[in-house]
Structure 1
Amino acid sequence: MSQIQLLPAVEKFLAQPGRLFIGGTWQDAASGRRFAVENPANECVLAEVAEGGERDVDTAVAAARAAFTGVWAQQSPAQRGLLLFRLAELLDQYREELAQLITLENGKPIATARGEAASAANIIRYFAGWPTKIEGSTLPVSPSSGAPMLNYTLREPVGVCALIVPWNFPLTMCVWKLGPVLATGCVAVLKPAEQTPLVAIRLVQLIEAAGFPPGVVNLVTGLGIHTGAPLAQHPDVDKIAFTGSTQVGRLIAQAATGNMKKVSLELGGKSPNIILPDADIVRAAKGAADGIFYNQGQVCTAGSRLYVHASVLDQVLEELQRHAAAHVLGPGLDPASSMGPLVSARQLGSVSAYLQRGQEEGAELICGGARPAHLERGHFIQPSVFLDRAERACVAREEIFGPVLTVMSWTEIDELVLRANDSPYGLAAGLWTRDLRSAHRVAAQLKAGSVWINCWNVVDPASPFGGYKQSGWGREMSKNVIDAYTETKSVFVDLA
C-alpha cells in the first residue's frame, strides 16, 4: 500500500509532547502524568499527551472565569466576529495538516478527513457572522397598574462552558461547540476524547494564533473519569455541552444538578432508513450503504436500521452486497482506502461482539462479519449486512457504532412508521421515494430531529441538529444554538 507523505509540520508536531492550554499558557498536567495516543491503523503510539486531572480542571475553570469577567467582556461583538473570521482563515490555511492528524489518530480515510477539515472552517465562518446579530426586543406590556412601562429584553452570554467532545469527528465536534461559545461571548474549557486529542491541540494552537485573549479557550486533555467527570461536576461551570453516548449523557445530566448548570446533550441513535417500492432502487441502496458505512459506521446518525419494501428486498440486498464488497479496507493515509479501522481495540471488540450476538439471536448474516484477512494489524472490521426478519436481534435494536447494517422488510406503511419509531432514540431518519405525498406524510410521522428524503446525513451550520427522546437535549447549529449559550434578561422601566 502506498501512503501519502506526512507534512514536515505534522512530523514536528507529533515529536513534541502534547500539553494543556490554560489561561493562555501551554503547560504540563499538575500531576506530571501523560497518556499515549495510538494510531488505530497500525496500533503504534503516535504521541504522548498530558493527562489532566481535577487540579488542572480547577485552574482552567478559574482562568475561563477571569477571562469572562475581564478581557473577553470588553470585546465588542464586531471584534469577536473578526477573531472568528481569522480562525476560519487559519483552518483553511492548515487544512491538510489538520486532515492528516485526524486520519492518524482516528483512522478515517484521508479524503474524509479533508472533508472534515474543510467543514470545520465553514462552520466557524458561519458563526463569525453571529456576534453582531444577537439581539433583544421591545415588548408591548400591559402592567396592571396602568403606568406607562418600557419593557425590553437583552441576550447575555451564559458564562463558563464545559465542552466534552467525542472521537468520531474530532475536529468538527470541537468547532460545533466552540463556534457558538465564542460568537455569544462565552468562554470555554474544552475536553477532547482521549482517543483523539491531537487535532484538538492543533486547533487550540490556531485559536491562540488567531489572537483570542488568554483564558477564553482552555484545553484540558485526559481521561473521562479523571478529567471529564470533575469538569461536569464543577460548581463554577455555567453550562456543559456534551456529545457522546446516551449512557454517559445520563451521568453528565446528573452531575449538572449540583449547581443546576445548563446542559445540552447530543447522544446516540439507531436511525431508521426507509425504502419505498417506488424509489430509485439503485440510488436508494447506494444511499443506504453510504449511510451506514461512512466513517466506518462510527456516526451517531448512522442509518443502521434499513426498512425495505418486501417487493424490492432481494434487489436491495444484492445492491448492498455489491457496495460492501467494493470497499477497500486499509490505513487512512493510503489514498486507495475507502474504509479505515475502527478507532480502538475496545471499539473493535464491541462491534465484533455484536456481530456474533446478532447471528446467535437469529439474524441472517448476508455479508461481512469478520476481520479482513489481509490486514494483520489495526482495528479493522468488514462492512457487514444482516437480514433480521423478526426484528428482534440486538443488531436491530441497539446502537453498534460500527459498519453494521440490519435490514428488515415491510408491506404496510402505517405499520412501518410504528416500527421505525419503536426505539428509545430519535436522532435521524430517512426515506427514499419518488412520491412527494408519501415523503411528506411519512416525514411528518417520524420521531427524529433530522429527516432526510432521498439523501442521508446532510448537515449544514444554518440548520438545527439534535434528537428526540434519548438522543439528546437541545439543538446544535443554527440560530437555535445561540439561544442555548445565552440568557434572556427582561428589563422594565417605569416611564411615569
Structure 2
Amino acid sequence: MKQYTHFIAGTFTAETDAQIDSVDPATGRVWCRISRGNAADADRAMRAADSAFRAGEWAELTASGRADVLERLADYLETHWQQLVEAEMRDNGKRITEVRGQFSGLHMWYRHFAAEARKLGPEPQSNRIAGVESETQFLPYGVVVAITPWNSPLMILAWKLGPALAAGNTVVVKPSELASASTLEFASLAHEAGLPTGVLNVVTGYGHEVGEALVRHPLTRKVTFTGSDAGGRKVAAAAAEGVVPATLELGGKSPQVVFSDAERANAVNGVLSGIFLSNGQTCVAGSRLIVEAPIAGSFVAHLLERARALRFGDPMDPATQVGPLANEAHLRKVTAIIEQAKAQGARCLLDGTRTAAGRVGFYLGPTIFTDVTPKMQLWREEVFGPVLAVTSFDDECQAIALANDSDYGLAGGVWTSDIDKGRRVANAINAGTVYINHYRSVDPGSPIGGMKRSGYGRELGPDAVKDFLQDKSVWTGRAAVADPFPEPV
C-alpha cells in the first residue's frame, strides 16, 4: 500500500498520521493513502512558497531565466511522463488511452509557457502629456493557490502552473482529495527536473480543512480554481473576504445543436466524443443534444447503435472503451439523477445502470434520454457523467433559445454544412467556447472559461500569463515640473 504525504519545500512531509484512502474505481479497493492535511500544513506550504518568492534562486530569476526552468521541466516531462500514468489511472479510473494521450503531450504546455515568458517585459504607453513618458510593467502576485479537480488533475494543473510560473509566482496546489497521487508524483518529478525548492508545493486533504485554509491565508495573493459551481461559490466568497482575485472554471451543461444538413457521420462522432469520452466527466461535456426534428429519430437511432457497441473493461486495457466513473459517491449521484429523470417523464432509450449491472468497480454505461424538457433536472443540472439529454427543434431561432436555456455557459457545439449558419448560431450561443463541426479541442493559444454559472476569468489563450501578473504604470518626466504655485503677475 503506497503512502503519500504533502510535498512542501522540496520534500515529502507530514506532521500527523491522519490519512485519506484513495480507492481504485476499477476494483473498488483502496490502492494508496494520502495525508489528510489541516490548517497547519497549509500554513507551512504557504510560508515555503512565500519564502521562495521573496528570496533565493527563483526570486532572482529574470523572465528569461524562468523560461529556462520551464524548458528544463518540459524536457524532463517529455522523457519521464510515463512515470505519472499509473497514479492518475488508479486514482480516477480514466482509460489508459486517454491518459497516455494527455501525458505524452504534457511537456508541450510547459514549453508553450516558457516561450510566453520570454515575451514578457515593460510595454510603452501612449499619453497626451507633454514631456512625460509612461510604461506598463507586469509584476507577479506572489503566492498563487491552485485548486484542481479529480477528472484530469495534471492537465488542468498545467493550465494553472505553467502561466503562474512563467509570470514569476510560486504555487501551492490543493488537488482533489479523490485524486491526489499523480499531482504528488508530478511535484517530485518537477523537483528532480530542477524546479527550485518551494516554488511548487502540494497539500492534500479536504476542501473545508485545507482548501479553505489556503484561500483565506494572509499570504495568498491569487486563487485559481477548477471544479463544481457549488465549490466555486465557496472559493469566491472566501477569496473576496481577503480581496484576493480568483479565476473560476466551473461546471457546464453544454448544448450540441445538430441541423438536418450536418454531415451525419461527423456529427455522430462529435456528439459521442462530447458526452461519452471520459465517461462524460469533463466540464465541456456536450450533455444536451438539440437536434432538428426531421432527422431526430434517425440521428438518435445512429447514436444508440454506436453507444450500445462500446466495450466495457479494465481501464488499463487499451481495448477498453468504457471505464469506471471516478468514485463511488459520484456513481451514486449520477445513478440518482438517472432515476429522477425517469420519474420526471424523460424516456430512457439506453440505461447505463443496467448495462453495467453486476460489474466490480464503479461502472456506469452510456445513457440516453429523449423527451427531455427544459424544466427537468436532467436538462438544468450538470450530471458530469455519460448521460445525454435529447430534445428536438423546428427552426434556427428555437435551436438558439434551447441552447441558451441554461444557467451554465461553458461550451457548445454546432453541426451544419452551412458555415454561415454555423457561425451565426455559434455567435448567438452564450458560452465561453463554441465549436462548429468539431468538439472538445483545447490548445494553449485559445482561452477557455465560462459565462453565467460556469465561472469567470479565462485560462490559456494569449493573456494566460498576464492573468497571473499585476499591471503597474511607471511615469518618467523628461521636462522640468512647472511651479504649481507661481507668484501672481
Normalising to structure 2: TM-score of the pair? 0.95
Whether 1:135 and 2:121 are equivalent positions in the alignment is: yes
Whether 1:494 and 2:477 are equivalent positions in the alignment is: yes
Q: 2:274 aligns with which of 282, 291, 294?
A: 291
Aligned to 1:187: 170
Q: Say if 1:280 and 1:433, in contact at 8 Å, map to a contact too.
A: yes
Aligned to 2:482: none
Letter in 1 for 2:321: S
* Distance 1:435-1:180 versus aligned 2 partners, 3 A rule: same
C-alpha distance after superposition, 1:33-87 (max 9, x if no partner): 1111110110111111111110010111111111111122201222211211121
d(CA) in 1 for partners of 2:374, 2:222: 39
Aligned to 1:53: 38
* Superposed displacement of residue 368, structure 1: 2.0
C-alpha distance after superposition, 1:239-289 (max 9, x if no partner): 000000001101101001222011000000000000011001222122111
* Superposed displacement of residue 373, structure 1: 4.9
* Superposed displacement of residue 389, structure 1: 4.8
Q: Say if 2:223 and 2:244, in contact at 8 Å, map to a contact too.
A: yes
Q: Secondary structure of 1:408's partner?
A: strand
Q: Say if 1:330 and 1:375, in contact at 8 Å, map to a contact too.
A: no
Aligned to 1:5: none
Aligned to 1:232: 215
Q: Say if 2:282 and 2:384, in contact at 8 Å, map to a contact too.
A: yes
Whether 1:399 and 2:382 are equivalent positions in the alignment is: yes
Aligned to 1:11: none
Normalising to structure 1: TM-score of the pair? 0.94
Aligned to 1:461: 444
Q: Say if 2:109 and 2:444, in contact at 8 Å, map to a contact too.
A: yes
Q: Say if 2:290 and 2:402, in contact at 8 Å, map to a contact too.
A: no
d(CA) in 1 for partners of 2:71, 2:373: 52
Q: Say if 1:372 and 1:380, in contact at 8 Å, map to a contact too.
A: no
d(CA) in 2 for partners of 1:106, 1:369: 19
Aligned to 2:418: 435
Aligned to 1:210: 193
C-alpha distance after superposition, 1:146-167 (max 9, x if no partner): 5x11111101111110000000
Aligned to 1:357: 340
d(CA) in 2 for partners of 1:272, 1:377: 32
Unaligned runs of 5+ in 2: 480-489
Q: 2:8 aligns with which of 2, 22, 40?
A: 22
Q: 1:415 aligns with which of 372, 383, 398?
A: 398
Whether 1:40 and 2:25 are equivalent positions in the alignment is: yes
* Superposed displacement of residue 448, structure 1: 0.6
Q: How does 1:244-263 map to 2 (within 5 A)?
A: 244-263=227-246
Q: 2:362 aligns with which of 371, 374, 379?
A: 379
* Distance 1:476-1:373 versus aligned 2 partners, 3 A rule: closer
Aligned to 1:101: 87
d(CA) in 2 for partners of 1:457, 1:320: 18
Q: Secondary structure of 1:478's partner?
A: coil
Letter in 2 for 1:344: N
Q: How does 1:333-344 map to 2 (within 5 A)?
A: 333-344=316-327
Q: Say if 1:184 and 1:486, in contact at 8 Å, map to a contact too.
A: yes
Letter in 1 for 2:67: G
Q: Say if 1:449 and 1:466, in contact at 8 Å, map to a contact too.
A: yes
d(CA) in 1 for partners of 2:356, 2:145: 43
C-alpha distance after superposition, 1:370-398 (max 9, x if no partner): 14356431010110000025333211111
Aligned to 2:52: 67
Q: CA-atom RMSD, angstroms?
A: 1.3
Letter in 1 for 2:159: W
d(CA) in 2 for partners of 1:224, 1:177: 18
d(CA) in 2 for partners of 1:41, 1:67: 40
Q: Say if 2:356 and 2:363, in contact at 8 Å, map to a contact too.
A: no
Q: Say which is worse superposed, 154-163 or 114-123, in terms of deviation.
A: 114-123
Q: Say if 1:391 and 1:408, in contact at 8 Å, map to a contact too.
A: no
Q: Say if 1:286 and 1:323, in contact at 8 Å, map to a contact too.
A: no
d(CA) in 2 for partners of 1:138, 1:176: 28
Q: 1:113 aligns with which of 99, 104, 115?
A: 99
C-alpha distance after superposition, 1:205-227 (max 9, x if no partner): 11101111111111101111111
Percent sequence identity over matched residues?
A: 37
* Superposed displacement of residue 124, structure 1: 1.2
d(CA) in 2 for partners of 1:192, 1:390: 36
Runs (4+) of structure 1 moved beyond 6 Å? none
* Superposed displacement of residue 410, structure 1: 0.3
Q: 2:155 aligns with which of 154, 168, 172?
A: 172
Unaligned runs of 5+ in 1: 1-14
Whether 1:31 and 2:16 are equivalent positions in the alignment is: yes
Q: Secondary structure of 2:335's partner?
A: helix
* Superposed displacement of residue 429, structure 1: 0.5
Q: Say if 2:290 and 2:390, in contact at 8 Å, map to a contact too.
A: yes
Letter in 2 for 1:437: D
* Distance 1:375-1:91 versus aligned 2 partners, 3 A rule: farther
Q: Say if 1:389 and 1:409, in contact at 8 Å, map to a contact too.
A: no
* Superposed displacement of residue 229, structure 1: 1.2
d(CA) in 1 for partners of 2:52, 2:160: 18
